């Protein structure tokens, strides 16, 4: 739901982007995401996920894992506020989807530190896979924006 709303929000927003700050945001997000990823104890998270099957804590972990991406997107003024909010909502929704797809349907067994059974898909794949849910709302948002422009134009005399 969050991803679909974010797609609509982005499509109807005024896409004023500052290129230099956008580049800085992307670089900072990549560095921070990598730092957070290395700082988290993934073996402990895997053991917790396998022991509890599903927990709201896993969604919190997903948000923490992606904080290096969404914090710069939200806080650095690389675009107008509505675009930053929409992009952050997309990333948060995609992180939640990633946590659900990463931990919930797979039964991975870890024995003596060795993974047996199905291996989880790459966690970051969810950030791209979430586009499947955002594309219809983006299309609707584009149509709404086009219609608003058409209504706002004065009729030719």
Is pLDDT at 155 greater than 80 in this prediction?
no
What is the pLDDT averaged over residues 17-25? 93
| Residue 137: both structure tokens together | 């709302």
Q: What is the distance between the alpha carbons of residues 44 and 47, in angstroms, rounded to a whole number?
A: 5
What is the pLDDT averaged over residues 126-132? 74
For the chain, the average pLDDT equals 80
Residues 50-87 have pLDDT tens digits of 676 666 777 787 788 889 999 999 999 999 998 899 88
* Residue 153 main-chain phi, psi, to 5 deg: -70, 135
Residues 135-144 have pLDDT tens digits of 888 888 888 8
Q: What is the pLDDT of residue 15?
A: 81
Residues 88-106 have pLDDT tens digits of 988 888 888 877 776 654 5
- Cβ pair 83, 138 in contact under 8 A: no
- End-to-end Cα separation, the chain, in angstroms: 44
- Cβ pair 146, 14 in contact under 8 A: no
Quickly tell me which residue has 């997107």 as its tokens: 73
Domain locations in the chain as residue ranges: 2-10+17-143
Quickly tell me which residue has 């995609």 as its tokens: 94
More confident call, 24 vs 110? 24
């Amino acid at each position: 739901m969050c991803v679909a709303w974010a797609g609509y929000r982005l499509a109807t927003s005024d896409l004023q982007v500052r290129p230099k700050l956008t580049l800085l945001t992307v670089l900072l997000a990549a560095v921070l995401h990598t730092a957070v990823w290395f700082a988290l104890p993934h073996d402990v998270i895997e053991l917790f996920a396998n022991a509890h099957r599903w927990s709201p804590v896993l969604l919190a972990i997903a948000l923490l894992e992606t904080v290096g991406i969404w914090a710069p997107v939200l806080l650095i003024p690389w675009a107008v506020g509505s675009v930053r909010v929409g992009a952050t909502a997309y990333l948060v929704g995609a992180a939640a989807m990633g946590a659900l797809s990463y931990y919930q349907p797979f039964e991975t067994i870890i024995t003596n530190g060795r993974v047996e059974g199905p291996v989880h898909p790459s966690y970051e794949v969810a950030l791209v896979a979430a586009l499947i849910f955002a594309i219809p709302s983006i299309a609707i948002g584009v149509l709404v924006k086009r219609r608003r422009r058409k209504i706002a134009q004065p009729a030719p005399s």
